């Protein structure tokens, strides 16, 4: 597979010198720099001033070592930038973190790094010196959020200062050395207009989605990994009125809500003694005592599903959450399974009635083979028929082909169903164009 990533400037030097030779030289420069500077001042000194000082000292050291590895001006600048990234940032990963087009950084081993750009994975030329170098960067990340990682705790979830989510696995769990994945989030959160521009949905859905939130319907956003569930949840949250109190609950803080009256909570893992763990369920239960207008759960994945449904059924309308599932029907089955696995002794018939009365809308998001995300189904839960939760699909996207460039082609279409939520829209004073529910409405993309 051809590498078309152009973010690394190290390649020309590696063509000139052996990789081990280059990394050994850079390591010596780094160690010499650490002997000179006072690391304790990094937190207190202005970053720009510190950057200039490190660059100046590194250049001085390189001149002293000119006989060891002769470098031209561009090569010297490359090493200086990499040393600055080592001291102040996350080393070889820093250029990726500065690139807004990259959404995922996947470190499979110290010498193999992939990135995702525009929904597609591509390899890079960037690498760490060795496992020890990679572990230093990992330790820097987890220590910043008060976590630790070692043989007794070989897996950890953390986050960077910009909100990016980090997952790390080290030996003995990881067989080929430390592994790390970084899920990045846009510095400027996407808006509904951006989703329309990206053909995730069509403009005709704008008023409907806005109405679903303003009419305080409970919405479940379903989709697979990397399908854009959290992004869509952020977009939907924009329509929550400013005068409402929002409580968010997450495993790792990812949501980027813009409202002022916002209370954010995050789970906490157990400490070294196995104590102090705070689960999402604990936070959901506690949130009910915080006078919330809306409860937003980043992702429901366990016993908290039951408490979330209880909240939806007891006056906390307008709640939103996401769930991992490949279809709206699968999402309902997963909800039922989560509650059953939490040892709640509830007959399946009563549990399904409980779900059908709590959830009003399921929005299904999917990532297509070309890397683009699409809203592929919007379904309304209409009640129960026997022992089965009944739904009706209001809107869907149907793929028809893949063109010569590999782009997914298809059409967005309403199904000719007049949804029950239109009555709630009328009561709430929300107006939408009823004609757009006609099945003749189609948008080819």
Q: The tokens of 5 are what? A: 């990533």
pLDDT of 27-51, one tens digit each? 787 777 777 766 555 666 667 777 7
Stretch 365-384: mean pLDDT, rounded? 94
Please count the other Cβ atoms lying within 10 Å of the Cβ belonging to residue 339.
Answer: 23
Q: Are 373 and 365 in contact (CB under 8 A)?
A: yes
Residue-level pLDDT at 5 = 41
Q: Are 107 and 180 in contact (CB under 8 A)?
A: yes
pLDDT of residue 174 exceeding 70, the answer is yes
User: What percent of the chain has a predicted confidence (pLDDT) above 70?
Assistant: 92
Task: Find which of 36-40, 71-75, 158-162, 358-362 is predicted with most confidence, using mean pLDDT.
Answer: 358-362
Residue 160: band (very low, low, confident or very high) from pLDDT cuts 50, 70, 90: confident
pLDDT of 108-156, one tens digit each? 999 999 999 988 899 998 888 889 989 999 998 888 877 789 888 899 8
Cβ-in-10-Å burial (0-12, 13-18, 19+) of 73 comes to exposed
89-184 and 192-444 have identical folds: no
Coil, strand or helix at 44: coil
Cis peptide preceding 261, ω within 30 of 0: no
Residue-level pLDDT at 3 = 41
Q: Are 365 and 236 in contact (CB under 8 A)?
A: no
pLDDT of residue 196 exceeding 80, the answer is yes
Residue-level pLDDT at 38 = 63
Residue-level pLDDT at 68 = 67
Stretch 206-218: mean pLDDT, rounded? 94
Average pLDDT, the chain: 86
Q: Which residue has the higher pLDDT, 185 or 96?
A: 96
Residue-level pLDDT at 2 = 41
Domain ranges of the chain: 1-88, 89-184, 192-444
Q: Class of the 192-444 domain?
A: alpha beta
Q: Class of the 89-184 domain?
A: alpha beta
Residue-level pLDDT at 242 = 92
Q: Which residue has the higher pLDDT, 66 or 393?
A: 393
Q: Which residue has the higher pLDDT, 5 or 315?
A: 315
Residue-level pLDDT at 42 = 60
Q: Rounded CA gap, 108 and 114, in Å?
A: 8
In terms of pTM, does the model score above 0.75? yes
Residue-level pLDDT at 375 = 97
């Amino acid at each position: 597979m051809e590498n078309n990533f152009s973010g690394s400037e190290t390649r020309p030097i590696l063509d000139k010198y052996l990789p081990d030779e280059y990394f050994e030289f850079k390591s010596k420069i780094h160690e010499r720099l650490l002997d000179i500077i006072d690391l304790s001042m990094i937190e207190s000194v202005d970053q720009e001033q510190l950057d200039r000082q490190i660059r100046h000292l590194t250049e001085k050291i390189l001149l002293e070592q000119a006989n060891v590895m002769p470098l031209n001006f561009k090569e010297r600048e490359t090493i200086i930038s990499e040393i600055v990234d080592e001291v102040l940032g996350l080393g070889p990963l820093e250029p990726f973190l500065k690139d807004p087009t990259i959404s995922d950084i996947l470190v499979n081993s110290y010498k193999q790094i992939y990135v995702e750009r525009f929904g597609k994975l591509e390899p890079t030329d960037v690498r760490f010196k060795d496992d020890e170098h990679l572990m230093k960067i990992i330790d820097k990340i987890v220590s910043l959020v008060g976590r630790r990682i070692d043989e007794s705790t070989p897996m950890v979830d953390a986050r960077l200062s910009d909100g990016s989510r980090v997952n790390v696995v080290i030996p003995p769990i990881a067989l080929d050395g430390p592994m790390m994945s970084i899920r990045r989030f846009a510095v400027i959160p996407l808006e509904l207009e951006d989703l329309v521009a990206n053909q995730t949905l069509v403009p005709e859905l704008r008023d409907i989605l806005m109405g679903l939130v303003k009419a305080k319907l409970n919405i479940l956003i379903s989709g697979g990994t990397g399908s854009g569930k959290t992004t869509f949840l952020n977009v939907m949250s924009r329509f929550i009125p400013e005068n409402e109190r929002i409580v968010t609950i997450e495993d790792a803080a990812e949501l980027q809500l813009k409202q002022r009256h916002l209370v954010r909570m995050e789970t906490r893992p157990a400490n070294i003694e196995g104590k102090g763990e705070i689960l999402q369920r604990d936070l959901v239960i506690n949130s009910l005592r915080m006078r919330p207008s809306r409860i937003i759960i980043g992702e429901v994945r366990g016993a908290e599903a039951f408490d979330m449904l209880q909240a939806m059924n007891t006056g906390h309308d307008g709640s939103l959450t996401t769930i991992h599932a490949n279809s709206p029907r699968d999402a309902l089955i997963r909800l039922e399974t989560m509650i059953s696995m939490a040892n709640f002794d509830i007959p399946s018939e009563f549990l399904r009635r409980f779900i059908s009365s709590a959830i009003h809308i399921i929005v299904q998001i999917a990532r297509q083979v070309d890397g683009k995300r699409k809203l592929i189904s919007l379904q309304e839960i209409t009640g129960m028929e026997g022992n089965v939760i009944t739904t009706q699909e209001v809107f869907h996207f149907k793929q028809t082909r893949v063109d010569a460039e590999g782009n997914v082609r298809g059409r967005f279409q309403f199904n000719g169903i007049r949804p029950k939520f239109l009555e709630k829209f009328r009561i709430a004073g929300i107006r939408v164009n009823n004609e757009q529910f006609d099945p003749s409405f189609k948008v080819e993309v």
